[in-house]
C-alpha cells in the first residue's frame, strides 16, 4: 500500500478545512435568517411580556429633557462666544488703529476670526502686543537720550578705526592711531610692544 505523501496530506488538509468552513458558513447564514424571521414575528409580544413600557417612557422623557437642555445650553454658549468675539474684534481694531497712527508696526489681523475655542486671545497675548507698542515708544524716548548719542559716536569711531587700519601706514603708526580711537571710545586697548617696533619695509 502506497502511503500518502506529505504534500498530498497538506493539500487534503487544507481542502477539508475550506470545504467544511464554506458549508458551515452557509448553514450559519440559514440559521440566522430563521432567527430573524422568528424575531420579526415574536418581538412585539415578547416586549409586551417584559412589561417595560413605564421604564422606557421615563427614559425617553429624561432623554428629551437632556436634549432640550443641551440645545439651550449650546444656543447660550454660542451667544456668549459671539459676544466675546465681537469684543475681541473691537479690541483688535482699537490696537490696529493706534498702531497705524503711531507707527508701532504691530501685527494685528482684524479682517477675520474663526469660531473656535482657540480663536480667543489670552491676557498674556494682549499684554505682549501692548508691550511691543510700549517698547517702540520707549526706544523713541531713549534714542533722544545721551546713551543713544554715545552709540552713534561709537559707530563713527568704528568707521574711523577701519579707515586707519586700511590707510597704508606702518604697523606702529597704525596701532598708535588705533589706540587713540579706542581711548576716545572708552575701549580698553594695550599696544603690543613688539608691534611698535615693527616698521613697514622701506622702498
How much is the pLDDT for 131?
93
How much is the pLDDT for 200?
44
Dist CA 106 CA 129 (whole Å): 7
Count of CB atoms situated within 10 Å of the CB of 33? 10
Contacts for 198 with CB less than 8 Å, ≥ 6 apart:
170, 171, 172
Distance of CA 46 to the CA centre of its chain: 57
How much is the pLDDT for 9?
79
Contacts for 103 with CB less than 8 Å, ≥ 6 apart:
136
> What tens-digit pLDDT sequence spans the chain (203 residues)?
667 778 877 887 888 888 888 999 999 999 999 999 999 999 999 999 999 999 999 999 999 999 999 999 999 999 998 898 889 889 989 999 999 999 999 888 755 444 445 578 888 888 999 999 999 999 889 888 887 788 888 888 898 888 988 888 888 788 888 888 888 888 887 766 665 554 444 44
How much is the pLDDT for 198?
46
CA atoms within 13 A on the CB side of 15: 6
How much is the pLDDT for 114?
47
Dist CA 86 CA 80 (whole Å): 10
Question: What three-state secondary structure class fits 200?
Answer: coil
How much is the pLDDT for 197?
53
Query: Which of 129, 126, 82, 89 is CA-nearest to residue 110?
Result: 89
How much is the pLDDT for 22?
92
Query: Which of 136, 76, 135, 149 is CA-nearest to residue 84?
Result: 76
How much is the pLDDT for 137?
94
Dist CA 125 CA 141 (whole Å): 24
- Answer positive or negative: Cα dihedral of 111, 113, 119, 122: positive
Q: What is the pLDDT of residues 83-133, one digit of tens each?
A: 988 898 899 899 999 999 999 998 887 554 444 455 788 888 889 999 999
pTM exceeds cut of 0.75:
no
Amino acid at each position: 500500500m502506497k502511503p500518502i505523501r506529505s504534500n498530498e496530506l497538506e493539500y487534503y488538509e487544507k481542502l477539508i478545512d475550506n470545504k467544511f468552513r464554506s458549508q458551515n458558513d452557509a448553514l450559519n447564514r440559514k440559521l440566522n435568517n430563521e432567527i430573524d424571521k422568528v424575531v420579526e414575528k415574536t418581538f412585539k409580544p415578547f416586549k409586551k411580556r417584559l412589561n417595560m413600557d413605564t421604564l422606557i417612557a421615563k427614559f425617553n422623557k429624561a432623554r428629551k429633557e437632556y436634549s432640550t437642555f443641551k440645545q439651550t445650553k449650546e444656543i447660550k454658549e454660542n451667544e456668549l462666544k459671539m459676544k466675546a468675539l465681537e469684543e475681541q474684534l473691537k479690541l483688535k481694531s482699537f490696537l490696529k488703529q493706534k498702531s497705524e497712527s503711531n507707527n508701532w508696526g504691530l501685527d494685528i489681523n482684524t479682517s477675520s476670526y474663526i469660531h473656535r475655542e482657540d480663536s480667543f486671545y489670552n491676557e498674556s497675548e494682549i499684554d505682549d502686543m501692548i508691550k511691543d507698542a510700549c517698547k517702540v515708544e520707549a526706544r523713541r524716548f531713549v534714542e533722544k537720550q545721551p546713551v543713544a548719542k554715545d552709540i552713534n559716536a561709537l559707530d563713527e569711531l568704528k568707521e574711523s578705526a577701519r579707515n586707519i587700519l586700511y590707510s597704508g601706514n606702518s604697523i606702529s603708526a597704525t596701532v598708535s592711531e588705533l589706540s587713540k580711537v579706542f581711548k576716545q571710545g572708552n575701549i580698553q586697548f594695550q599696544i603690543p610692544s613688539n608691534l611698535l617696533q615693527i616698521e613697514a619695509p622701506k622702498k
